Structure 1
Amino acid sequence: MHRRLRIAGALLAVAGLTAVAACGGPAGGGEAPRNQLTILWAADATDLSTDNGLGLQVNAGVHERLAIYDALVALTPTADIEYRLAESLTPDGPTRWTLTLKPGLRFSDGTPLDAAAVKFNWERLADPATKAPSAQIAQQIAGLDVVDERTLAITLKEPNGQFPTLVAQSALTFIGSPTAMQADPAGFGSNPVGAGAYVLKEWVRNDHSVFEKSPTSAIEAPVDRIEVRILADETQRYNTLAAGGGDVDFTINANTAAKAEKAGHQVVTGQTDGGLSLQFNTAKPPFDDVRARRAVALAFDGAALGKSVFSGLVEVPETLMRAESKYFADVPLTRANREQAQALLDELAAEGEPVSFTILTPLNFQQVAEWFQSSVSGYRNLTVQVEAAQTTGQQLFAGDFDATLIGLTRFIDPYPALVNFVSSGGSTNFGKYSDPAVDAAARTIVTSTDEAERIRAFADLQARIAEDLPFAGPFYRMPNWFVLAEGIDAAAVPILNDGVIDLTRFRP
């Protein structure tokens, strides 16, 4: 008999999103002690600086960052704020907040993590010369004043009643050593220094990285050593777990989760709103025309995808939000309609604009992209190519794509995930979508402290998205499945945000 635990989920990730965690035998064979944790991951991080544009959310490198930096604040699976390195983050008015740090925090290089260090990190993110992926988030801050060693006074440019949630789900939550950053700005991403429970000891790109306990950290983590191994193939990762090479296999593949349960593994499930979507690059043809966006949305049959690729195991949503969400609005998603899709494609072709595009996809969504490519092969005036890449972040941030399969519309709290995804200048609005009605609703969601007003604004946002289609989907919900090996109890897998394993509390 195996135990199944349902966890409320969160915003997903991304460009290059995939993760797996396991604790068990080392790569060279033999049985590892239980205080060693081996993490199996589908894609390596581009770097391990404090900022990859995503923060403490499931994506390549998130567990490594959590090990190195820990977090000022984090979001729980029920969308509550958890204070970690920060003691509190409290409002002093519409645009003013006060951050208080816990006492005695030190980076692994021995320097203090104090208010001045937080100020340095946030100002560095905001500096245009740094070209940080999260610059637009940090630039929402107008001023930072060090009150004392543990206290930082924060002034925002505009009112934000949800600032702690923004910090928890962005790069603002990761703080690196200013001394190390200044000593080697270009190399910090390869030799990161934080105040987390672990330090990076070895990193062979696209193969493995090793972390050991930091002697200066105030965090008492039960696991002594963490190894991150890169295994891009979904089947290989599961087989590694089944063969005793790991203890926790994180997957977003419903077939893997079902196979694991059938084999008797405990499976921890995390459910979220949103799901896998196709984000359009609205800054260039063909998707600068809403008719092309609608034609593709009408051609993408999520129900058929679920049956064909996932044996009917995935939930195909009818609305963006689940009915149990307080932000639910009964705004139907675009349903597949071949006749309407073909009519729009023919209309565009008659104007000399047949729809031809390439889907950029991380490897874990490649099967979905190729299924769609095959499913629309019978359409006139529609040509679809697939470009699969181990990591897609650089192309997305550069706007070098036509459309991309992405999980960023999967979230536990719609702010900041959904807001950043669709509002003008949003940090994950890779498609450069811009609409005044969406922006107006987004401003209310961010600035208002009246929850009823925010709920109405979310309803307006969902209605406009369904009409103007900055993305197609979601095609299916994207829960996390943590497949556990024998001897690991579901209760031993502590979760943050949308499915990040809290390695500092993992007790194998």
Structure 2
Amino acid sequence: MSKKAFQFIAVLLIAIFVLAGCGGESSSNGGNSGGDAPAEITYASTSDAAGLSPIDTNDSVSSNVTYQIYETLFTQDPQTLESKPLLAKSYETPDENTWVIKLREGIKFHDGTPFNAEAVKYTFDQIRDPERAAPRASLLAPIESVEVKDEYTVVIKTKEPYGPMLAALSHTNAAIVSPKADKEGDINKNPVGTGPFKFVEWVEGDHITLERNEDYWKDPAALEKVTFKVVPEVSTAISMLETGEVQFIDALPSDQLPRIENINGVKVQKSPGTRVSYLGFNMEKAPFNELEFRKAVAYGVDQEAYVNQLNGLGTFSESIIGPKVFGYNEKAEEAGYAFDKEKAKQIVEENGYGDEEINLLVANRASYMKMAEIVQAQLTEIGLNVQIETMEWATFLETGRKGDYEMTFLGWSNSTADGSELLYPNLHSDNIGSSNFSRYSNPEFDKLVEESRQTVDQEVRKEKLHEANVMAIKDAVWVIMEHGTVTAAYDESVENLVVDPTGQWSLYNVSRK
């Protein structure tokens, strides 16, 4: 070979390598070219949000979205669950009924209007307004007044001492909204907060898109775009995680866990959580308002067998207040009605409960559908005639609040990890028609729960919560199916994703490598 030919071939090879290095690379992890880290993430949910206003919604699907858009005065440490300032800068309690909260300055809502004391007062007054009928009005029920001391100071007066105040002000449904946006538009469709992500669009039944808030009061988020994709079939969502069409799913179904854990390039998080899932009764209808009927169901449902097939994604407990929730006392476990098929059969036969058809209303979510199929079979064995009716999530929530059902499955994430904020919204008679789906009304129980809220002595609070918990267990208000395990599966390119025990997660610190 001549020297010139050799030089020509050498130059040609170098050119080929250079071109190869400059060429675009396809990626199943986000579609970026040039090897750059993807600046977006897609999360798959089996249900669409019910709405995008923290004031007007009260479900985990909606709060997953609103948690990225809005912010609260306080937030909970994801590890300790202790409350610490967020939009608030500091607070003091000059007396047990007064909370003086100093706010951070210079923060703006996504519409450019200022975050200040007036915005806090407006938001809290809206939550407390009976005409608005906020589903989590119970969070602020003890508040007597919210006053503006100056532009960045709010003074909250309570009727009685309120032990869970900081936990309540850390709750996603106590997030601060733009007064201008709420007055002039519909924040349930076009949300406006102060958070790290701004709303872009909502194509109902398909997706919700958010974009990075470049003017965020802290450093802007690493992610430029967040998509909440509605994927009704969980098996499809898992396939999309496998192919890279989505990068994050949570609330993993137990029967799919082995499949998920075997996907190359996917990481799985599992840890004990605060969520409780239960079978509930409409106590304003017969025979569900009869203790004997509820005891028959409680005896007839084998929750431990249900939990045993969850692949470690649940904890068996007869207690309504779970082990990860403030107020739990293991002695409460003794108050429940342990599985006893023969005793259940006897109660059904003696009272003729098997003569009528029972409607079991179920939201079209994988976990509830699985519970329904198992429980239907178990109740059939004790002589009850149970028929399942399924319903889309948002419609299900509306139906349940109205009391248009007989028996149903529900869960409570307990975003505050506080027993008072489990028992009060779900079982206190104040909240029939909103968050008390069971429509349970018991003055003695109500009094105990109120006492657990009306003191800042945490030991007294624990005692009252335990008494109330035992009373509700003996009343068989719920059949506890499981205390949940917090789970998530995500592409290995996703970094700094933390799901706390309440099941909440923020995408602010998340990046893609």
Question: 2:63 touches 2:172 (CA, 8 Å); kept in 1?
Answer: no
Flag the structure with larger Rg: 2
1: distance between equivalents of 2:155 and 2:307?
49
Q: Which residue of 2 aligns with 1:248?
A: 248
User: Which residue of 397, 402, 405 maps to 1:398?
Assistant: 402
CA shift, 1:237, in A, is: 1.2
Alpha-carbon distance in 2 for matches of 1:398, 1:296: 23
Q: Deviations over 1:380-433 (max 9, x none)?
A: 354343334333221122222212211117663323123322222235211111
Rounded Cα–Cα distance in structure 2 between residues aligned with 1:432 and 1:60? 23
Q: Classify 1:129/1:488 alpha carbon distance in 2 versus 1 (closer, same or farther; 3 Å).
A: closer
Give the drift of 1:311: 5.7
Matching residue of 1:9: none
State the percentage of identical aligned residues: 22
Distance 1:255 1:76, change over 3 A: farther
> Can you give the 5+ residue segments of structure 2 that lack an aligned partner in the other structure?
1-27
Residue 109 of structure 2 corresponds to which residue in structure 1?
A: 107
Using the TM superposition, name which of 454-463 and 410-419 deviates more: 410-419
Q: Which amino acid aligns with 2:179?
A: P
How far is 1:178 from its partner? 0.8
Q: CA deviation at 1:69?
A: 1.2
Q: How many residues align?
A: 474
Mapped contact 2:448–2:464 kept (Cα < 8 A): yes
In 2: Cα distance, 1:80 partner to 1:147 partner: 27
Provide the secondary structure at the position in 2 that maps to 1:454: helix
Q: Would the alpha carbon gap of residues 61 and 216 (structure 1) be closer, same or farther in structure 2, given more than 3 Å must change? A: same
- The 8 Å contact of residues 272 and 410 in structure 1, kept in 2 or not, is answered as no
- The separation in 1 between residues aligned to 2:271 and 2:424, in whole angstroms, is 22
Which residue does the alignment assign to 2:425? Answer: 420
Task: Tell me the residue number matched to 1:266.
Answer: 267
Structure 2 residue aligned with 1:4? none
1:56-67 matched pairs, under 5 angstroms: 59-67=60-68
Does the 8 Å contact 1:24/1:33 carry over to 2? no
Counterpart Cα distance in 1 of 2:494 and 2:215: 29
Mapping 1:470-489, distance limit 5 Å: 470-473=477-480, 475-489=481-495
Return the alpha-carbon distance in structure 1 between the equivalents of residues 348 and 30 of structure 2: 54
1:177 aligns with 2:174: no
8 Å contact from structure 2 (residues 136, 435) kept in 1: no
Structure 1 residues 305 and 386: alpha-carbon distance in aligned structure 2, compared to 1, 3 A threshold: farther
Indicate the residue corresponding to 1:452 in structure 2.
459
One-letter identity of the residue aligned with 1:483? A
Q: CA deviation at 1:141?
A: 2.0
Q: Higher RCO, 1 or 2 (CA under 8 Å, sep at least 6)?
A: 1
Distance in 2, matches of 1:376 and 1:283, equals 21
**SS of alignment partner, residue 404 of structure 2:** coil
Q: 1:440 to 1:468 in 2, by over 3 A?
A: same
Q: Distance in 2 between matches of 1:65 and 1:168?
A: 13
Q: SS at the partner of 1:222?
A: coil
Give the equivalent residue in structure 2 for 1:19.
none
Letter paired with 2:408: T
The 8 Å contact of residues 197 and 504 in structure 1, kept in 2 or not, is answered as yes
Equivalence for 1:237: 237
Specify the SS of the correspondent of 2:110.
coil
Partner of 1:144: 146
Classify 1:444/1:102 alpha carbon distance in 2 versus 1 (closer, same or farther; 3 Å).
same
Aligned to 2:40: 36
SS at match of 2:330: coil
Between the aligned partners of 1:131 and 1:319, the Cα distance in structure 2 is 30
Deviations 1:436-488 (A, max 9, x none): 33222212221222222122112212211221011111x22211211132333
How far apart are the structure 2 equivalents of 1:98 and 1:234? 46
C-alpha distance in structure 1 between counterparts of 2:358 and 2:48, whole Å: 31
CA positional deviation for 1:139:
4.1
Q: 2:168, 2:136 → 1: CA distance?
A: 11
TM superposition shift of 1:313: 5.9
Counterparts in 2 of 1:33 and 1:292: CA distance versus 1, 3 Å: same
SS where residue 232 of structure 2 aligns? coil
Alpha-carbon shift at residue 133 of structure 1 (Å): 1.9
**Aligned ranges for residues 7-46 of structure 1 at < 5 Å?**
24-25=29-30, 33-46=37-50
Q: Structure 1 residues 190, 33: closer, same or farther in 2, change over 3 A?
A: farther
Moved more, 106-115 or 279-288: 279-288
TM-score (norm 1): 0.86
Superposed CA deviations along residues 475-507 of structure 1, whole A, max 9, x for unmatched, are 222112111323335xx1134561212111113
CA contact (8 A) 1:424 1:435 kept: yes
Question: Which amino acid in 1 is paired with 2:152?
Answer: R
Residue 14 of structure 2 corresponds to which residue in structure 1?
none
Q: After superposition, where does 1:103-502 map in structure 2 within 5 Å?
A: 103-169=105-171, 171-172=173-174, 174-184=175-185, 187-220=186-219, 221-263=221-263, 265-273=266-274, 275-307=276-308, 310=310, 314-320=314-320, 327-332=328-333, 333-349=336-352, 354=356, 356-364=358-366, 365-391=368-394, 392-408=396-412, 412-426=417-431, 428-473=435-480, 475-489=481-495, 492-496=496-500, 498-502=502-506
Give the Cα–Cα distance (whole angstroms) in 2 for the partners of residues 144 and 82 of structure 1: 20
Give the drift of 1:340.
1.3
Contact residue 276 and residue 406 of structure 1 kept, 8 A: yes
The residue aligned with 2:22 is none
Determine whether 1:50 maps to 2:51.
Answer: no
When residues 274 and 114 of structure 1 are mapped into structure 2, their CA distance, relative to the original with a 3 A threshold, is closer
Where does the alignment leave 5 or more consecutive residues of structure 1 unmatched?
A: 1-22
- Per the TM alignment, residue 345 of structure 1 is displaced from its structure 2 partner at its CA by 1.4
* CA gap 1:263/1:248 in 2 versus in 1, 3 angstroms: same
AA aligned opposite 1:25: G
Distance 1:284 1:321, change over 3 A: closer
Q: Give the TM-score normalised by the residue count of structure 2.
A: 0.85
- Rounded Cα–Cα distance in structure 1 between residues aligned with 2:34 and 2:201: 21
Q: How many Å apart are 1:314 and its aligned residue?
A: 3.9
CA pair 494-306 structure 1, distance change in 2 beyond 3 A: closer
The verdict on how the C-alpha distance between 1:230 and 1:405 changes in structure 2, with shifts beyond 3 A counting, is same
In structure 2, give the amino acid aligned to 1:75: Q
Compare 195-204 and 130-139 and name the one that shifted more.
130-139
Root mean square deviation, CA, Å: 2.7
Cα distance change of structure 1 residues 493 and 180 upon mapping to structure 2, 3 Å threshold: same
Q: Which residue type is aligned with residue 421 of structure 2?
A: P
Task: Give 2:301's aligned amino acid.
Answer: F
Structure 2 SS opposite 1:369 = helix
- Kept after mapping to 1: 8 A contact 2:102/2:152: yes
Q: Deviations over 1:360-382 (max 9, x none)?
A: 33423112112211232233354
Distance of 1:219 and 1:371 partners within structure 2: 48
Quote the offset at 1:287 in angstroms. 1.2
In 1, the alpha carbon distance for the partners of 2:501 and 2:255 equals 24
1:140-177 deviation digits (Å, cap 9, x = unpaired): 321111111111001112220221111222522x1111
SS in 1 for 2:511: coil
Q: Give the AA of the match of 1:229.
A: K
Structure with more helix by fraction: 2
Answer yes or no: is the 8 Å Cα contact 1:295–1:344 preserved in 2.
Answer: yes
